[in-house]
Amino acid sequence: MGGAIGLLLIWGGAKVPWEKEMTREQRKATYGFSGPTAVAIREKVGQGLALAALGGFRGLAANALMLQAHGAWEEQQWMRVRSSLELATVLQPRVAVFWDTASWHLAWNAAVAAEKYGGEPNETRRRIEARRWVEAGRDLLERGTKAVPEKAILFQRLGDLYWQRLGDYQAAADCYRLALAKGDAPPYLERFVGYALDKAGDSRGALEYFRGLRKTMGNPPDPARRPEVVEREILRLEKKLDEGKIGASQ
Site of interaction with another protein (CB under 8 A): 1, 3-5, 7-9, 11-13, 15-16, 18-20, 22-23, 25-26, 29-30, 36, 38-39, 42, 51, 53-60, 62-63, 66-67, 70, 92, 94-97, 101, 148, 150, 186
Question: CB-wise, 29 or 79, nearer to another protein?
Answer: 29
Q: Can you give the chain as a three-state secondary structure string?
A: CHHHHHHHHHHHHHHHHHHHHHHHHHHHHHHCCCCCCHHHHHHHCCHHHHHHHHCCCHHHHHHHHHHHHHHHHHCCCHHHHHHHHHHHHHHCCCCHHHHHHHHHHHHHHHHHHHHCCCCCCCHHHHHHHHHHHHHHHHHHHHHHHHHCCCCCHHHHHHHHHHHHHHCCHHHHHHHHHHHHCCCCCCCCHHHHHHHHHHHCCCHHHHHHHHHHHHHHCCCCCCHHHCHHHHHHHHHHHHHHHHHHHHHHHC
We find the least distance from the C-beta atom of residue 51 to another protein, in angstroms, to be 8
We find the least distance from the C-beta atom of residue 206 to another protein, in angstroms, to be 25
We find the least distance from the C-beta atom of residue 39 to another protein, in angstroms, to be 8
We find the least distance from the C-beta atom of residue 4 to another protein, in angstroms, to be 4
Question: CB-wise, 25 or 222, nearer to another protein?
Answer: 25
Question: CB-wise, 60 or 229, nearer to another protein?
Answer: 60
Question: CB-wise, 148 or 171, nearer to another protein?
Answer: 148
Question: CB-wise, 167 or 188, nearer to another protein?
Answer: 188
